[in-house]
Structures are given as structure tokens and as C-alpha cells.
Structure 1
Amino acid sequence: MHPRFSSPAPSPADSQDIAATDLPVLYADEVLAVIDKPAGLMVHDSALARGETDFAADRLREQFGRPIFLVHRLDRATSGCLLLAFDRETASALGKVLMSREVEKDYLAVCRGWPAEDAFEVDHDLDGGPGKPLKKPAQTRFAVLARTELAVPGSGFETSRYALLRAQPQTGRFRQIRRHLKHLSHHLIGDTSHGDGRHNRTFRMLGIHRMLLHAQRLAFVHPRSGERLQVVAPADTDGEFAKALAMFETAPPSS
């Protein structure tokens, strides 16, 4: 990866006021860029905005001083790699690459429970979200990176088990990772729509209020140069995600 220009990711203190700074640039050249989107910022206006007025797309147009074309989306509560283009031709080329599954997308996720297998795939059709009832094929590959078991006073249970996962969606359905984890009953921590309220409350007691899903890595072939790019958004620059990752430091390796 050879970025033309970049800016450092904000410190945990800076990230408390995401409106005060430009969005961190992980890679940029004359035709495309990859941004590190903070959790809590909507990517663009939509039916889900509910009166929201602050959007990453608007900020990025002002930040770069030119039109931008979003190549894919991230949920408001998800942080990490967001791919965009600066012209329609590049956006179209990148969109075709996404559709052909030639883009590698790695997410970090924290879920309730310990999956039985270290590596597994979910093949479970999903609809397109509100107003889109037609179900389409959806596949996500998962790998367990670490496990931990926490004592949670007052929860009614002696301990609760959690796993740190790498998720690799092979398709791009609405809230795919979150809904596939719900399908497995390994709900994503912090997910207020598809998660488990008891476990979400446990993490809030521990000072973690965000949804624990982070778009960590994008790898794809540059549509102009033919170079294979790999862009990584560190998860530990977000104070709350870093706190969650620290819970797994002494966890036994998955084996």
C-alpha cells in the first residue's frame, strides 16, 4: 500500500467528538480513497436517518473538495474501512469488482458464547431489509480469533462466555454479519436491533456502549493501476473497542 496522502487515526480522546475533526484517510490517490469511519456516524442520508443531519458523505465532499461516490456502505454503528471513488467510472469499476466477490473484506466482531468450531460458514438467505421482503442468498465466513469468560456480578450467572471473531462476508446483504450471528444465537455485542439485551447490558456495565463490529481490512485490485491494495483500519484507536479487545489478551488461543 502506497498512499498519496494520509492522516492519522484519532486518539480515543479525539474520537469522543467525531464532528470536530476530518475523517481519517487510510489510503487515497487521484481516483479513490479508503476512509476510517468512526462508529456512530451515518454514511449517507436514508430512510433510517430519522432526522439525522451529519453524514460521512457530506463531510467527505467538503474534506476532499470534490464529488465523491460511495462504493459500499457501513452501518452507522460499525467503524472501519469505507471505500469511495472520485468519479463515476471508477465507482462503476469498483462496484463490479465488489459484485464479483474479488474484494476481500475482514471484520472484527465480538459475540456472545463460544462457537463450536474454530472456522465455519453461514449460508442463510436474507431479505433486503425494511420494505424489501425478497430473500437472496447470503454467505459469511467466520473464524474464532480468541475466547474469554467473564465474571459478571448481578447477572444471575457465574460467568458469561464471549468470542472474538473474524467475519468475511461473501455477499453484501442488509446487516448481513449481524443477522447471521443472530441466526446462530451468537449475537453481536452492542447490537440493539439483532443482539441480546442481557449481554449488551453486561458490556455497558463494563464501559463499552458501542456495537462491537469493525471493518478492519479491505483488499482489492486497483481499477486503474492493476496493483493489489490492502488497507487496514486499526481497531484499537477507538477507546471502547480497545477495551473490548483487552478482555481477550489472556484468552487461550482457539485450537
Structure 2
Amino acid sequence: MSNIPILYQDEHLLLVDKPVDLPIHKNDHMAYDAPYLTKLVGEITGQWIYNVHRLDAKTSGVVLLALSPDMARQLTQQFEKRTVEKTYLALVKGSPGSGTFDEPVLDRKKGKRVKASTDYETLETIRTDLSSKGVDDLELSLVALRPHTGRWHQLRQHCARQRYDIIGDTQHGDWTLNRLITDRTGAHRLCLHAQKLRFQHPITGADMEMEAEMPALFLEIMDHWRDTSVA
């Protein structure tokens, strides 16, 4: 965990490629000595690190961090104003095609459904010999997801509500399929990755775009059945 790739760093901010299963910050449910991203990056850089936005522990990929409270405030405002462009990669059940999910999703804190919007685009589809919930020869797809809102588990909820469950999602997804894929490939993680982040640098005004390479495991899962590719 101490070897966290730093994708970009200047005197104001930095972007890192967060490993899977690593929380961004400490919470009350963690052991006192448990690792978390801001702590580890602080140890690597020798600086105080300030969190700017949320990324679930189970999701890997690009995370933007600030090196001062004022920079954290300015960057957080961009997320609140929804001017930051985010692209995720997910391995999902089925073949969604392309379009927009506009269904409301559950807000865990409010206990009710709230508006949410996510663009999606299928990049590749393969057919497997797996069966789940009455469907045989299930397809798996690599999908790009671009959320316009930042709701709790928005991408996971949107995919699950349309039966395009994200592989490895043990809260909203298809548990049977998750188990079958783990048995076949050994994969045991949420297949959701924050691939790209685009924002404006608060000091220079430059358009910043940073990308974290897709986890090799995503391709390894697809390669297991790629010989019968259908797209």
C-alpha cells in the first residue's frame, strides 16, 4: 500500500492512482492503525494532505488531493458546481449499449431517492458460458460511465437497477454471478475504476486531465472468455 503511484504533483495539489480496498480518509469503523490514502500519501510526500472528493474504498483510480486547506476548498467547489468531468470504467453484466441513466437513486443519509444522471458507453462485449437468474450464456461488457451527479453509490445503483450489475458489487449487484466469476478467474474485487478526471487548476487556470491505467484484472476476466467475443 505504501507504493501509491503519484500521477501529478505541484506545490498546490497532486493526483494519485488509489489502490482498490483503500479508504481515502479515516472513519470511525476502522482500526486505529488501519491504512488510508491521505495518511499514506502524507508519509510518501512528507506533507499534510487534504481530501477533495469522495471515492469508495472498493473503487480504484484517480483521486485529486490538495496540499493546503484553501486549495482543498477551491477544488471542492468545482466538484460541488459539477464542473469536474469524471470517467469510470466498469465491467458489467449484459450489454448496455450507449445512453443515459436518469433514474433516481437512494440517498443513504436522507433515506429517499434523489435525482441522478449517468452517461454510459459500451466499449466491448464478450459472451460467456455462465448462467445466472435464469439467463444462460451471459454477456460481460466493459463500459465507460460518466456521472453528472455525485450521489452515494450512484454508478453501482444505476447499473444494478437496469440489470447491468457491476461485477464484484456485493451490495447492489448479482451475488451469484460474482461467485461464478471468482470461481472461474480468481477475481475478487469490485470492477469499478476511476479512469479519468478533468478539472481546472485553481492557480494557473489550466485545464487538467489525468488518467489512471485500467486494472489488469479487468482484461484478465474478459480474456478468460474472449475467444467467443461478440463485439
- Normalising to structure 2: TM-score of the pair? 0.90
Partner amino acid, structure 2, of 1:243: E
Partner amino acid, structure 1, of 2:220: K
SS of the residue 2:114 aligns to:
coil
How far apart, CA to CA, are the structure 2 residues paired with 1:242 and 1:85? Answer: 32
Partner amino acid, structure 2, of 1:224: I
1:127 match: 106
SS of the residue 2:203 aligns to:
coil
SS of the residue 1:82 aligns to:
strand
SS of the residue 1:81 aligns to:
strand
- Map 1:92-111 onto structure 2 (within 5 A): 92-111=73-92
RMSD: 2.3
How far apart, CA to CA, are the structure 2 residues paired with 1:227 and 1:62? Answer: 28
Partner amino acid, structure 2, of 1:246: D
Among 151, 159, 162, the residue aligned to 1:173 = 151
2:56 match: 75
1:61 match: 42
Change beyond 3 A, Cα 1:125–1:252:
same
- Kept in 2: contact 1:104–1:219 (CA 8 A): yes
Q: Percent identity?
A: 32
Give the C-alpha shift of residue 26 in structure 1: 0.7
1:203 match: 181
Partner amino acid, structure 1, of 2:197: L
1:240 match: 217
1:13 match: none
Change beyond 3 A, Cα 1:52–1:126:
farther
Change beyond 3 A, Cα 1:224–1:248:
farther
1:37 match: 18
Give the C-alpha shift of residue 38 in structure 1: 0.7
How far apart, CA to CA, are the structure 2 residues paired with 1:49 and 1:168? Answer: 30
How far apart, CA to CA, are the structure 1 residues paired with 2:217 and 2:90? Answer: 13
Change beyond 3 A, Cα 1:101–1:246:
farther
Among 75, 93, 104, the residue aligned to 1:112 = 93
Give the C-alpha shift of residue 156 in structure 1: 8.1
Partner amino acid, structure 1, of 2:85: E
1:88 match: 69
How far apart, CA to CA, are the structure 1 residues paired with 2:171 and 2:131? Answer: 25
Runs of 5+ unmatched residues, structure 1 = 1-17
Give the C-alpha shift of residue 241 in structure 1: 2.7
Q: Which moved more, 1:41-50 or 1:172-181?
A: 41-50
Runs of 5+ unmatched residues, structure 2 = none
How far apart, CA to CA, are the structure 1 residues paired with 2:74 and 2:91? Answer: 33
Aligned positions, number: 229
